[in-house]
Amino acid sequence: MQLDQSNNGTPEPSEVVSRYLEAIYYMWAEKQSLRSARLADWLGVSRPTVAVGLRRMARDGLVRMNGRKEIELTSGGMRTAESIVRRHRIMERWLTDGLGLDWVTADAEAARLEHAVSEVVEQRLYDVLGRPATCPHGNPIPGHSLASPNEVMLSSLSAGDRASVTRVSEVAEREAPLLLAYLHQRDLTPGREVTVLETDEMGKTLRVQVAERDVTLSHETASKVWAVRAPQA
């Protein structure tokens, strides 16, 4: 589905504001609690710094606080955040598919480059890459695709379940790049078929078969991988 990709003439946000918007968008997409303390941890800054930043963003009409003291993107904030995320994910595609960089390096480089790329270059890259639907980790590109409504966390599956990996959480990309490399090395990548072999009684680990190898994952790690469960035979 093609969506409106314009920012309606809204000026480009500063790099700092872009980082805030991007982080808020990622947490919103993962249905995580959007509180200022969580945002501070994500960005690696103090809570007072985040408080000041959020006040400025609220003044500029990008965010608001709801009755539960959680951060929400306004419609304008959402459009701007989607633009930033779209550019980042297209850049990641170019860096992996075009230049052959690994997942972790491509994510870091895209974070540097996304602020310097114009909409003209972004659209041209998107066309040259064959109009991809997702970033290398399977996350949908805003304005060009949507996540599958049938996705579940790998951690929610039971022994005997089969599923197809759809994406790796963006939260894992940003908070734990070593985890991103770990999953890639073990072929837990979009499109891979997995079978759950065993879950422990305490729900702390999950053993799966992927690409003809057994992989044991902690519940926390498995919660960073999304998949679509295969129909029961």
pLDDT value of position 173: 66
Of 113, 91, 103, give the one whose Cα is nearest residue 176.
103
pLDDT value of position 89: 95
pLDDT value of position 18: 92
Residues 168 and 180 sit within 8 Å (Cβ to Cβ) = yes
How would you class 80 by CB atoms within 10 Å of its CB: exposed for 0-12, middle for 13-18, buried for 19 or more?
A: buried
Q: How far apart are CA 24 and CA 42, in angstroms?
A: 9
pTM for the full model? Answer: 0.85
Q: Which two tokens stand for residue 168?
A: 């790796």
pLDDT value of position 3: 38
Query: Strand (E) positions, the chain?
Result: 63-65, 71-73, 151-153, 162-168, 193-199, 205-210, 213-218, 225-229
Instruction: Give the Å distances, CA to CA, from 25 to 108, 125, 213.
Output: 18, 23, 35
Buried b (16+ CB within 10 A) or exposed e, 160-194: ebbbebbbbbbbbbbebeebbeebbebebbbebeb
Per-residue model confidence as pLDDT tens for the chain (233 residues): 333 344 444 567 888 999 999 999 998 988 888 999 999 988 889 999 999 999 999 999 999 999 888 999 999 999 999 999 999 999 999 999 999 998 889 988 998 888 888 999 999 999 999 999 999 999 999 999 988 889 999 999 999 999 999 999 887 666 667 788 888 888 999 999 999 999 987 768 999 999 889 999 998 889 889 999 998 76
Instruction: With residue 93 as reference, give the H or E element that holds it.
Output: helix 75-93
* Type of residue found at 77: G
Q: Domains of the chain (ranges plus CATH)?
A: 1-147 (1.10.10.10), 151-229 (2.30.30.90)
Residues 219 and 205 sit within 8 Å (Cβ to Cβ) = yes
